[in-house]
Structure 1
Amino acid sequence: MHLDSTQVKQVFGLSIRQAGVVALFGLVVLILVNFSLITMHFTQGTILSKSDVQASFATQIQKWLAIPILNTAVLVVFWVAVGLAAYAVLYWAYNIISEARNEVVVEKEYVNRASTEEKKRWPIIEVGLLAALVALAIITLTVLFPLWNNWFIAGIFSIPAELANTALYLAGSLVGMFVTIYVFKALVSLMLVLE
């Protein structure tokens, strides 16, 4: 497995625009996950901190979802999303199967065939990259994301008092999210280049 310089740039290269998008995506994910904590922290001692506002909001949502049409619409949107995700997985599996079938046809019908070692190497590499992607996803969800999230929360809650700790926690969480997303991007790009 040898990559030329353009493939190496395609897999590991990151333009300033891509780096900005990755950093912004990581920040948006952290903000969305912790939105209620952030609003609670910044609205303490104000009129917005009263639980009446939050209770009325929850009541309003329950009233809206009590309407049968809206309740059905929410369920339909949810199951459409689940169906699209399942379709994407099945389509990906079908593409792998059809690609393997095409390689078998090429190997059987053409004169200049690959050696047995080369035939075994590519599927092993693809399975290895897929296993690395799944392992990284599991590690990210169980270890890395909770760590970056805890650092982000610690940074948010130390904002008015300790600016140095705030900067360190927020920078650590953003850099951690950036590196995690970049490694995902590199693995997916490598899988696409090797196809």
Structure 2
Amino acid sequence: MTAETAPPAWMHEQITAEQYDSWPDEQCSGIEIVDGMVVVSPSASKRHNRLARILANALEAAAGPEWNADTDFDVRLQDVPLTNRRPDVVVYRADTIDITPTRPEHVLLVVEVVSPGSETTDRLVKTDQYAKSGIAFYWRVEQAVTGIPLVYTYVLDPASGAYRDGDVFAGVVKASVPIPVEVDLGQI
């Protein structure tokens, strides 16, 4: 392997929050940091991105002026060792729009759209990490073989620090918490 084709050192060494924060945005795009190590995320499919965008738009419209809903930015779960996740959709306090990094206390809801290759991470690892960081609500979108997405909702139990199962929606999401919203994901 030549120097031109060798992976950069930052892909093999634990990095700090200060190092990460000094990187340009294009270097941070498409990666997450778990326990200080870079985890490269494959590009999402058009279906995945559309599901995330439809949900973000519906949540944004339903949330009112106190909350924003966006896609594709980091949530800093912990500083040491650095853990940054990049949820598919994040509902966060509107008054924190200019605060970087976004922290769990700014976040009401995170949504992950499960794709091939992210099943274990989205179903188990991220669920545990988001709960332990104190994010009150987690939704997981499964792209079922029927073509009708399934949305599993979870609510944080503050006593145990773990999520308890909430509602499950097939196609049409009619959630009452954390934001009353109705959105049809079956017509993508």
TM-score range, shorter chain: under 0.3
Higher strand residue share: 2
TM-score (norm 1): 0.19
Structure 1 or 2, whichever has the larger Rg, is 1
Higher helix residue share: 1
TM-score (norm 2): 0.20
Higher relative contact order (CA 8 A, sep 6+): 1
